[in-house]
Structure 1
Amino acid sequence: MTPHDASDANNGSRWSDLERPPLNAAALRRGLVREGGLWSGVEVVRRTGSTNGDLVALAAAGKAAEGAVLVAEEQSAGRGRLDRQWTAPARSGLFFSVFLRPAEVPVTHWGWLPLLTGVAVATGLSRAAGVDTALKWPNDLLVTVGGEERKAGGILAERAADGVVVGVGVNVTLRADELPVPHAGSLALAGAVSTDRDPLLRAVLRALEQWYGRWRAAGGDASACGLQETYAAGCATLGRRVRAELPGERAVFGEAVAVDGDGRLVLATEEGVREPVGAGDIVHLRPA
């Protein structure tokens, strides 16, 4: 499943960078791939353009099974929502994509997958890194650095063949002088008790497997499996006044009051109506 122009990250010396050692692909496979489990394979590549792009292409060619995990030590063309670039030094974060095929879940519920992934990432990192995390709707991971809320990660979901590729990027060891923008953050800057990426990745993927299994068993009903309630409890957007920048250059102002059964953010607008937002860029206008 190795993408073109990418090689296994463990070729060469594992100790070539003591501060940022490469991931141990073989150990990750031993710890995550098991009979009856979700993860069917874990591949680690040294460098590629985009793990999402690679995995979408593999899925389209019928070369990716459900539960395929593709991890890159460095991405040269990582993307976030709205085609924003995601760049970081090699081995400074977690950059990976997974292929999911929830055939028994109605496609109308698949919009929950990036939110579900956000819950799993926040859960796994809280356990393994000891960092208090929050979610900004729909798919940003927030940490607190110096009393200020900052983005330390993001999630991007893309349809692929008969499933969905979900990509995750998390800044782990980035220093202040390495941040792509001043308002970004990292687990290290947020005071993580551990920045060892092997256990961090395992914790995130195990949490994702658990939440995905619960959601799938409930037929994609986010309320029945507890996902809707859990997401709302960890969502830093709720209770805030926000500006929703919508397709067509339309903006809506209001208070974020709920996440509905379809995963949409519900705004109580200044005109006194409740408007669900299914796609758009959300700007927090004041602290909670």
Structure 2
Amino acid sequence: MVSAYNDLDRPPLDERSLQRALMAPGGFVSALRVLPSVESTNTALAAAAEDGAPHASVVVAEEQTAGRGRLGRTWSAPPRSGLFVSILLRPEVPLGAWTWLPLLAGVAAHEAVGRTAGLEVALKWPNDIVVAQGEAEDRKLGGILCETVSGQNAIVVGIGLNVTLRENELPVPQAGSLALAGAESTDRDPLLRALLRSFGTWYGRWAEAGGDARAAGLAEAYRESCATLGRRVRAELPGQRDVIGVATGLDPAGALLVTTADQEEVAIGAGDVVHLRPEDAN
């Protein structure tokens, strides 16, 4: 019989312990489940939302067999090798402000990793968590996917973070993990607690400010942790159009502002962004 304890580097999460710690009075989390295996935590939580799951419900999976990323990409990882978590939100702020939620999740992940793993990571606009590799390309540690719930005023925020993924388990050469980056700790329990607490704090500030990211301090926190700003980038937009220039800031909706060589400022609301090396800049 295969046990979750066979791999001592990847112990299982304790659902009851997490519930006691995170569902305490005054806390952010209203409900929390740790599932052994799901295709996607976002899909599982969206189904729960349709059945009436409350705001701030959380689903964590020990294994995702068909996790989803942006643009319909799918991925999977070995059991207990990462954090696979989704958070259900029923925001009482204008719909136009929801575009800040993936950036808010990034700020929370950035804080949690720094606090528990002792590792300096950065955010790549709009939804990647990366670690610098000297002169080499930044390695992607995780990503964020936000999906609205059909027929409801609700959204699911999915966060995936590679924790103990080994070199031979990387899905692509550009990927990485906390362990491979030299993290001081790869214990998923305190990492998850820190992530949800940080998310709850930032969500509370953002909601109290009516979704105004600048008033909540969220815009400034994101700018300080974003590796994209100040870099030359290529934004690959829908319709096979590329925009090349310097990422100079964010607009009020969280879109990336790119200034091209002819000084045109373009707001990028969707699309892939590539950090360019000096030799690739033209």
Asked whether the two chains share a fold, i.e. TM above 0.5, the reply is yes
1:121 CA drift (Å): 0.5
Give the structure 2 partner of residue 152 of structure 1: 141
The AA in structure 1 aligned to 2:90 is R
Deviation digits for residues 170-190 of structure 1, max 9, x if unmatched?
Answer: 000011111111111100111
Matched, 1:43 2:61: no
Distance in structure 2 (CA, Å) of the matches to 1:193 and 1:84: 31
- Among 121, 130, 148, which residue is 1:133 paired with? 121
CA contact (8 A) 1:55 1:97 kept: yes
Which secondary structure state, in structure 1, belongs to the residue aligned with residue 32 of structure 2? strand
Which secondary structure state, in structure 2, belongs to the residue aligned with residue 42 of structure 1? strand
Deviation digits for residues 56-97 of structure 1, max 9, x if unmatched?
Answer: 1221232x1111100001111101111111221110000010
* Structure 1 residues 40 and 187: CA distance shift in structure 2, 3 A: same
1:254 CA drift (Å): 1.0
CA contact (8 A) 1:145 1:189 kept: no
TM-score, with length taken from structure 2: 0.94
Deviation digits for residues 162-217 of structure 1, max 9, x if unmatched?
Answer: 11100000000011111111111100111111101001100111100000001111
- Among 155, 158, 162, which residue is 1:164 paired with? 155
Identity percentage over the alignment?
Answer: 58
- Among 88, 94, 98, which residue is 2:87 paired with? 98
Give the structure 2 partner of residue 208 of structure 1: 199
Matched, 1:223 2:223: no
* Structure 1 residues 92 and 146: CA distance shift in structure 2, 3 A: farther
How many equivalent residue pairs? 275
The AA in structure 1 aligned to 2:38 is T
Which secondary structure state, in structure 2, belongs to the residue aligned with residue 245 of structure 1? strand
Which secondary structure state, in structure 2, belongs to the residue aligned with residue 255 of structure 1? strand
Distance in structure 1 (CA, Å) of the matches to 2:73 and 2:178: 21
Distance in structure 1 (CA, Å) of the matches to 2:215 and 2:206: 8
CA contact (8 A) 2:113 2:119 kept: yes
Dislocated runs of 4+, deviation >6 Å: none
- Among 211, 224, 227, which residue is 1:233 paired with? 224
- Once the two structures are overlaid, the 10-residue window that deviates more, 79-88 or 108-117, is 79-88
Give the structure 2 partner of residue 65 of structure 1: 54
The AA in structure 2 aligned to 1:212 is Y
Where does the alignment leave 5 or more consecutive residues of structure 1 unmatched? 1-11
The AA in structure 2 aligned to 1:50 is S
Which secondary structure state, in structure 2, belongs to the residue aligned with residue 170 of structure 1? strand
Which secondary structure state, in structure 1, belongs to the residue aligned with residue 123 of structure 2? strand
CA RMSD after TM alignment: 1.5
- Among 31, 34, 45, which residue is 1:55 paired with? 45
Matched, 1:277 2:265: no
Give the structure 1 partner of residue 16 of structure 2: 26
Which secondary structure state, in structure 1, belongs to the residue aligned with residue 37 of structure 2? coil
CA contact (8 A) 2:103 2:222 kept: yes
The AA in structure 2 aligned to 1:200 is L
Distance in structure 1 (CA, Å) of the matches to 2:202 and 2:59: 19
1:146 CA drift (Å): 6.2
The AA in structure 2 aligned to 1:120 is A
The AA in structure 2 aligned to 1:17 is D
Where does the alignment leave 5 or more consecutive residues of structure 2 unmatched? none
Give the structure 2 partner of residue 4 of structure 1: none
